[in-house]
């Protein structure tokens, strides 16, 4: 017996040591709720010494009364019998021989709370039937406990798990770069706000904010500078709105602000103007001075929509109108914007179908040498006739294609088709024409663009010397590494490179020497006023200067939009190399161009 007692003591000591080193709080209490023991980690968790708890504080005092009452209601429904709030809510299941697992908040010494995952179970009474194993003599099945052996509460600290859960939740609802709430968080908060404010006939404004020409910062200065700009803009946006308002980053360089409880339209307009002013302030990053200007589209609840989705759609339409109007603009939604937005959406759908079903065709406008007055090349013009809307002008659908990301596949189709069709013309007529294809900046900045040009040439059989790539002057000011690499890759193939609409942009002339271009095209706006007469001296001087500059840089110079003999004669006198315009013909389909070349490439003398 003595040996058995000693063995039991050893086991008890091992269990005690184990409990004193386990990262859990273990409390034993009797059937009346009096605490009988607590392990050392439990003391550390609850900030009590054992002697302050054992025999002095009832176990239920470690629980919040509100949680006890809520648990009592839940157990009453679960067990089908009334459970009183308080101590009974803790032992209702263990008293029946059941293990009770639930999340609670322990009350620490000093009054703070500790979230815990708590397991409550009955302790067997060594001297009673309650300690008998199932299958022994006595009551069979699950024994009903009377609490004679007391109860054990095993608690795991949930603080770190809660902190991790909160961090994960924060990541799910906030932008990692700026720390602002994201689109999902804004939608949820704004939806609740609309319901609450709508119930008292209040007003809410939703602002969509886009940073004008932000892509140029990324492309020219690098994404690390772009990220710094976004963080700075986010900080300024937080500072520009009220505490009750909600600022969020939607995507890329687009932000949103929800203005709650505004009195009238003018209050929202004033807030938008304040945001424009704050975000437009100069900033210096990496030794570079920058000024980022936002455009804002604004929609008001309930006038412009009753749901978050409706307001976002309306604000997006207003934002588009703001960007069309120039930099730093604020536009309030109006019904006509919705019609324009719907039209853009419709055209986007038609564009996708046109690509899939090959609805586009190409036309070619002659390029005439001024000295010989012979056709030496053509410019490719895209044409699109839709069953729904008839003929669509490029100005109607190209901007939409750029916005929705379809400009790249459209440009690829134009380039491949032009190479194939002009090679067909060369084989049938023996006429060696150069074909110019206008490429949008997004396409030119694709990493594999030179490889695409090479593939189109090889698949069509068109010699590289018969192809020229045209880009607008605006791309010169960016001068990104991708742009320069693309230019060099194109020229390495032997393909010509032309700057279209020259004279209308803001490019520095140094780019003309740095980039491997070989042709300038004078914009038609200068050519329009070249006819003899008064009031056109400035345009004549600009055109003459562009021609002289181009020749000094060993570049060919072409004039666009030539419609009269007087314009042609002035350009020829100034040494312009070639011209194109209605004077020598509009764009024509391939078949008509072939017929004309078969008759000869000389044009009527001017």
For residue 124, the domain's CATH number is: 3.30.450.20
Cα angle 421, 427, 433 (rounded to 5 degrees) comes to 65
Residue 11 reports pLDDT greater than 80 = no
**Same domain for 560 and 432:** yes
User: CA 313, 315, 321, 324 torsion: positive or negative?
Assistant: negative
Q: In this predicted structure, which of 140-154, 282-296, 445-459, 543-557 has the lowest mean pLDDT?
A: 140-154
Asked if the structure places residue 235 within a domain, the reply is yes
Asked if the structure places residue 341 within a domain, the reply is no
Domain final residue, candidates 298, 318, 333? 333
C-alpha to C-alpha distance for 78 and 70, rounded to whole angstroms: 13
**Same domain for 590 and 552:** yes
Q: In this predicted structure, which of 85-99, 186-200, 340-354, 555-569 has the lowest mean pLDDT?
A: 340-354
What pLDDT does residue 536 have? 66
Asked if the structure places residue 460 within a domain, the reply is yes
- CB-based contact 311:259 (threshold 8 Å): no
Q: Under DSSP, is residue 305 helix (H, G, I), strand (E, B) or coil?
A: coil
C-alpha to C-alpha distance for 423 and 410, rounded to whole angstroms: 20
- CB-based contact 546:523 (threshold 8 Å): no
For residue 437, the domain's CATH number is: 3.20.20.450
**Same domain for 413 and 303:** no
Range 133-158 burial, b when 16+ CB lie within 10 A, else e: eeeeeeeeeebebebbbbbbbbbebb
Band (128; pLDDT cuts 50, 70, 90) = very low
Asked if the structure places residue 17 within a domain, the reply is yes
- The average confidence (pLDDT) of the chain is 86
For residue 210, the domain's CATH number is: 3.30.70.270
Band (131; pLDDT cuts 50, 70, 90) = very low
Q: In degrees rounded to 5, what are phi and psi of residue 369?
A: -70, 130
Asked if the structure places residue 339 within a domain, the reply is no
**Same domain for 559 and 494:** yes
What is the CB neighbour count within 10 angstroms for residue 424?
15
**Same domain for 383 and 312:** no
**Same domain for 192 and 80:** no
What pLDDT does residue 504 have? 64
- 501 is in which domain, residue-wise? 358-599
What pLDDT does residue 534 have? 46
C-alpha to C-alpha distance for 300 and 126, rounded to whole angstroms: 73
What pLDDT does residue 140 have? 36
CA distances from 604 to 58, 435, 575, 578, 593 (A): 111, 22, 19, 15, 16
**Same domain for 547 and 482:** yes
pLDDT tens, position by position, 499-541: 887 866 555 566 777 778 899 999 888 888 876 554 567 888 8
Residue 313 reports pLDDT greater than 80 = yes
pLDDT tens, position by position, 214-269: 877 877 677 888 899 999 999 999 999 998 899 999 988 999 999 998 888 889 99
| Cβ-proximal residues to 557 (8 Å cutoff; 6+ apart), any chain | 519, 520, 521, 522, 546, 547, 550, 551, 575, 576, 577, 578
Residue % of the chain over a pLDDT of 90 = 57
**Same domain for 362 and 319:** no
Residue % of the chain over a pLDDT of 70 = 88
| Cβ-proximal residues to 79 (8 Å cutoff; 6+ apart), any chain | 92, 93, 96
Asked if the structure places residue 563 within a domain, the reply is yes
Nearest Cα neighbor of 78 from 89, 67, 68 is 89
Residue 15 reports pLDDT greater than 60 = no
Q: Under DSSP, is residue 134 helix (H, G, I), strand (E, B) or coil?
A: coil
pLDDT tens, position by position, 464-504: 999 999 988 766 655 566 778 888 999 999 999 998 878 66
Q: Under DSSP, is residue 362 helix (H, G, I), strand (E, B) or coil?
A: strand
C-alpha to C-alpha distance for 129 and 145, rounded to whole angstroms: 9
Average pLDDT over residues 322-347: 83
**Same domain for 571 and 451:** yes
| Cβ-proximal residues to 260 (8 Å cutoff; 6+ apart), any chain | 193, 197, 202, 204, 244, 245, 246
Band (326; pLDDT cuts 50, 70, 90) = confident
Asked if the structure places residue 350 within a domain, the reply is no
Band (413; pLDDT cuts 50, 70, 90) = very high
**Same domain for 369 and 492:** yes
**Same domain for 287 and 258:** yes
What pLDDT does residue 555 have? 92
What pLDDT does residue 132 have? 38
Asked if the structure places residue 343 within a domain, the reply is no
Q: Under DSSP, is residue 310 helix (H, G, I), strand (E, B) or coil?
A: helix
Considering its fold, how many domains does the chain have in total?
3
For the ranges 130-134, 172-176, 382-386, 463-467, the maximum mean pLDDT occurs at 463-467
Average pLDDT over residues 32-38: 95
CA distances from 356 to 18, 406, 422, 453 (A): 71, 12, 23, 21
C-alpha to C-alpha distance for 327 and 212, rounded to whole angstroms: 7
**Same domain for 242 and 149:** no
Which helix H or strand E contains 390, and what residues bound it? Answer: strand 390-392
Residue 341 reports pLDDT greater than 80 = no
């Amino acid at each position: 017996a003595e040996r058995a007692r000693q063995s039991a003591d050893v086991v008890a000591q091992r269990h005690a040591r184990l409990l004193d080193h386990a990262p859990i709080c273990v409390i034993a209490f009797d059937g009346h709720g009096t605490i009988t023991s607590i392990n050392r980690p439990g003391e550390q968790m609850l900030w009590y010494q054992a002697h302050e708890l054992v025999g002095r504080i009832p176990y239920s005092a470690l629980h919040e009364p509100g949680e006890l009452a809520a648990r009592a209601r839940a157990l009453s429904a679960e067990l089908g019998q009334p459970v009183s709030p308080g101590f009974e809510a803790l032992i209702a299941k263990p008293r029946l021989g059941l293990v009770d697992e639930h999340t609670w908040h322990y009350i620490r010494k000093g009054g703070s709370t500790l979230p815990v995952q708590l397991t409550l179970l009955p302790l067997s009474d060594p001297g009673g039937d309650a300690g008998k194993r199932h299958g022994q003599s006595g009551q069979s099945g699950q024994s009903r406990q009377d609490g004679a052996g007391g109860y054990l509460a095993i608690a795991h600290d949930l603080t770190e798990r809660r902190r991790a859960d909160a961090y994960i939740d924060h990541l799910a609802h906030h932008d990692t770069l700026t720390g602002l709430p994201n689109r999902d968080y804004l939608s949820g908060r704004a939806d609740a706000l609309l319901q609450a404010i709508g119930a008292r006939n209040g007003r809410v404004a939703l602002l969509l904010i886009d940073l004008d020409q932000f892509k140029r910062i990324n492309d020219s200065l690098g994404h690390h500078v772009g990220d710094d700009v976004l963080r700075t803009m986010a900080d300024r946006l937080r500072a520009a709105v009220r505490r009750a308002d909600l600022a969020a980053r939607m995507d890329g360089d687009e932000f949103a602000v929800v203005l709650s409880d505004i009195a009238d339209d003018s209050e929202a307009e004033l807030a938008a103007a304040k945001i424009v002013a704050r975000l437009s302030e100069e900033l210096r990053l990496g030794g570079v001075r920058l000024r980022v200007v936002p455009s804002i589209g604004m929609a008001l609840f309930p006038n412009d929509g009753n749901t978050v989705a409706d307001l976002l759609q309306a604000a997006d339409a207003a934002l588009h109108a703001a960007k069309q109007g120039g930099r730093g603009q604020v536009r309030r939604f109006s019904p006509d914007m919705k019609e324009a937005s719907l039209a853009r959406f419709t055209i986007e759908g038609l564009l996708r179908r046109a690509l899939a079903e090959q609805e586009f065709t190409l036309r070619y406008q002659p390029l005439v040498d001024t000295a010989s007055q012979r056709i030496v090349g053509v410019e490719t013009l895209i044409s699109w006739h839709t069953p729904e809307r008839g003929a669509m002008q490029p100005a109607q659908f190209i901007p939409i294609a750029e916005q929705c990301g379809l400009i790249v596949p459209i440009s690829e189709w134009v380039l491949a088709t032009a190479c194939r069709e002009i090679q067909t013309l060369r084989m049938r007529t023996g006429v060696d024409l150069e074909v110019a294809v206008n490429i949008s900046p997004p396409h030119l900045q694709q990493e594999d663009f030179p490889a695409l040009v090479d593939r189109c040439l090889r698949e069509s059989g068109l010699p590289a010397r018969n192809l020229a790539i045209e880009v607008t002057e605006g791309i010169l000011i960016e001068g990104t590494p991708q742009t320069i690499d693309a230019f060099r890759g194109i020229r390495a193939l032997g393909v010509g490179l032309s700057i279209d609409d020259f004279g209308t942009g803001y490019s520095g002339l140094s780019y003309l020497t740095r980039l491997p271009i070989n042709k300038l095209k004078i914009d038609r706006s200068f050519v329009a006023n070249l006819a003899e007469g008064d009031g056109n001296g400035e345009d004549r001087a600009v055109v003459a200067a562009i021609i002289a500059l181009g020749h000094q840089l060993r570049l060919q110079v072409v004039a666009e939009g030539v419609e009269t003999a007087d314009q042609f004669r002035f350009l020829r006198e100034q040494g312009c190399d070639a011209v194109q315009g209605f004077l020598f013909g509009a764009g024509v389909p391939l078949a008509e161009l072939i017929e004309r070349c078969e008759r000869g490439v000389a044009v009527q003398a001017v």
